[in-house]
Amino acid sequence: MTNLSNHDLKYIVNTHFHGDHTGSNSHFAHKAPIFAHQNVRERLSNQAAEKSVALPVVTYEQGVNIYLSDETIKLSHFPNAHTDGDTIVYFKEANVLHTGDLFFEIGFPYIDINNGGSVEGYLTAVRKIIAQMPDDVVIIPGHGKLTNKVRYQEFADMITYSIKRINSFLAAGKNEQEILALGIGENYQHWSWYFITEEKWLKTLVADLQEN
Applying CB under 5 A, which residues contact Zn ion? Answer: 18, 20, 101, 142
Helix (H, G, I), strand (E, B) or coil at 166: helix
Kindly tell me which of 111 and 166 has the beta carbon lying closer to Zn ion.
111
The candidate with the shortest Cα–Cα distance to 162, out of 141, 187, 127, is 187
Kindly tell me which of 106 and 170 has the beta carbon lying closer to Zn ion.
106
**Cα–Cα distance for residue pair 188/182, rounded to 1 Å:** 13
CB of 87 to Zn ion, least distance (A): 12
CB of 18 to Zn ion, least distance (A): 4
Helix (H, G, I), strand (E, B) or coil at 67: strand
CB of 94 to Zn ion, least distance (A): 22
Kindly tell me which of 105 and 198 has the beta carbon lying closer to Zn ion.
105
CB of 162 to Zn ion, least distance (A): 18
Rg from Cα positions in the chain: 18
Q: How many CB atoms lie within 10 A of CB 34?
A: 22
The angle formed by the CA atoms of residues 142, 144 and 146, to the nearest 5 degrees, is 90
Kindly tell me which of 20 and 154 has the beta carbon lying closer to Zn ion.
20
CB of 70 to Zn ion, least distance (A): 29
- Strand (E) or helix (H) holding 120: helix 119-132
Kindly tell me which of 101 and 105 has the beta carbon lying closer to Zn ion.
101
Residue 27 DSSP label: H
CB of 114 to Zn ion, least distance (A): 12
- Strand (E) or helix (H) holding 162: helix 149-171
Packing angle, helices 149-171 and 198-209, rounded to 10: 60
Kindly tell me which of 84 and 198 has the beta carbon lying closer to Zn ion.
84
**Cα–Cα distance for residue pair 142/163, rounded to 1 Å:** 21
